Amino acid sequence: MDDMAIFPRPVSPKRAANDLWGYFRESRPHKWPLLGLSAAITYVIIWAFIVDGNTNTMPTRNKIIYVKSWDANRSDAAVILQQKMDIARYEVALSRSQKDMQKVADMVGIEWREDAARNSAKRKEALTRINAMLDERLAKAKQAEGAQQP
């Protein structure tokens, strides 16, 4: 056990280069494909690090968000009517999105019809309640506007 070293003895660069050159001179059938594969894998790893290093690090241009400007003295009735229109627009967009997702579900074999029927019934009930509440508030707002104006 004494003659076996724990660490390898230092190797000179000249001797290491000669050893590498001797390895390349040997004729082996798998030498060149493995060398090409190892070079390709190394290239892919280095490329992935470069791409990852440049991802989400560049400063982005300021994104301008436009906010709809409302009249400062618009009535509560106008606000409630706008809310009703927004809900209707949202429901149309939601139904389009659901139809697109249902097509995808059909393509991959996901059964969605039972859930869609149950959720549609719940959605209709919720929309009925929301619209009834908005109608009630709209009536109160119109009544309050009528009382304020002589």
What are the tens digits of pLDDT across the range 58-100?
A: 667 777 888 877 787 888 899 999 999 999 999 999 999 999 9
Q: What is the mean pLDDT of residues 101-107?
A: 93
Which string of DSSP letters, residue by residue, matches 25-42? HS--TTHHHHHHHHHHHH
**Residue 111 Ramachandran class (φ > 0 left, ψ -120 to 50 alpha, else beta):** beta
* Domain extent listing, the chain: 13-54, 76-148
pLDDT (tens digit per residue) in 1-43: 456 666 677 778 888 889 888 888 888 888 889 889 999 999 9
- pLDDT at residue 55, as a whole number: 75
Q: Is the sign of the CA dihedral 106, 109, 114, 115 positive or negative?
A: negative
CA distance 3 to 26: 30
Q: What angle do CA 54, 58, 63 make, to 5 degrees?
A: 140
